[in-house]
Amino acid sequence: MEAALSLPAALVAKLIEDAERHGMSVDEYCRAILSESRAADRSSNQAAFTSEPALDELKLLQLSAERLSLKATVSAFQSGALSGHINRLLPLKIGCRVLWSLLDDDGVGPTIREFREEMSDRVGSLRNYLRMIDEDYARPRGDRLHASFPNSSDAAINRFLNQYIIRKSGLNAEQSSGAMIDFGLIGISDIGRVQFTEVGRNFSLLSNPVLDEEDHRGPSLSADEQVLVLSQIRTEMMREWKFMRHVLDGIHVGSNTPTSLLARINRRYGPGTKADWSASVMPHMRSGVLGRMQALGLVKRTFIENRVEYRVTPLALVILEADVV
């Protein structure tokens, strides 16, 4: 047990005197002082984050559409469902805006290394800013914006860059990977520069509730952004789409808990199937696709006592009935 803190007698007397003058008990007065101190710290932090130039530079109004003239051609990821590591989509939007800010006057993009270095420099302030938003608006577990971004450790930042942004895993551009590549938002030019695809350009131009509209209570992507990404998945990423449909169908017919949904995934994708996912991989893939579908407005999570249940949204019901986006 920690020893009680002993205050100087003069300070105690001063606290008692001030508390009586304010018509409060000593305990109430001390709590009021602490509350005011925290509010002042919070106000200072908020001012610092609000004036953060790196965030303002990512707003739609601060970026020139004239620099979006050059486009790369690349195929989206078609080999299977996306990795379970990709469970949020706000980093894709942030990544696109950062890339846009790096285009020169002729529209030429950065090298892979330059893009990664710029993202690495920004993620710390982004995470802090988004954490402040989460706290101010009491965003619930599973909807917290700052959770999309890594903590300050070099290992966490490197994983984030590899998984969400871009990683050159070979000697040529075709061996690059990362969620921005997987979704077909960016590609590598013949001279080794990171450029937007047509889809990436269109995605970048759409207004975002977090970056542009300061709507911090709702989804991290606008309805237009969700529709664009859904359309890209539906038309260009068929195996990811089939996995999403399998999960959506399952939730709709009653496999709406983590355990029942995992059993459904096991029957289609588990050991011995064509996909042959291991028992350790399947929960990871389940969590990833649920996070992506939540970001796309297809799934909601509800917490009932100590358990979670999933339900499909009206948008998902339309998709299930028509199988079109």
Q: Are residues 23 and 165 in the same domain?
A: no
**CATH classification at residue 264:** 1.10.10.10
Q: Clarify whether residues 33 and 91 are in a common domain.
A: no
Tell me the C-alpha distance between 171 and 192, whole Å. 11
Dihedral of alpha carbons 136, 207, 182, 201, sign? negative
Residue 19 within a domain: yes
3-class SS at 200?
Answer: helix
pTM above 0.95, yes or no: no
Residues 159 and 206 in one domain: yes
Q: Which of 228, 102, 221 shows the shortest CA–CA distance to 165?
A: 102
Residues 46 and 68 in one domain: no
For 29, the domain range is: 9-51
* Residues 88 and 171 occupy one common structural domain: yes
- Are 212 and 310 contained in the same domain? no
Same domain for 40 and 83?
Answer: no
Average pLDDT of the residues of the chain? 86
Name the percent of the chain lying above pLDDT 90. Answer: 61
Pair of tokens at residue 164: 């969400």
Structure-block tokens of residue 228: 């664009």
194 pairs with which residues across the strands? 188
Residue 187 — pLDDT band, cuts 50, 70, 90? very high
SS3 at position 114: helix
* pLDDT tens readout for residues 31-69: 666 655 554 444 444 444 444 445 788 999 999 999 999
Q: For the chain, what is the domain count?
A: 3
- Asked if 203 and 245 sit in the same domain, the reply is no
Other beta carbons within 10 angstroms of residue 29's beta carbon come to 18
Band the pLDDT of 215: cuts 50, 70, 90: confident
Cα separation, 296 vs 260, in Å, equals 22
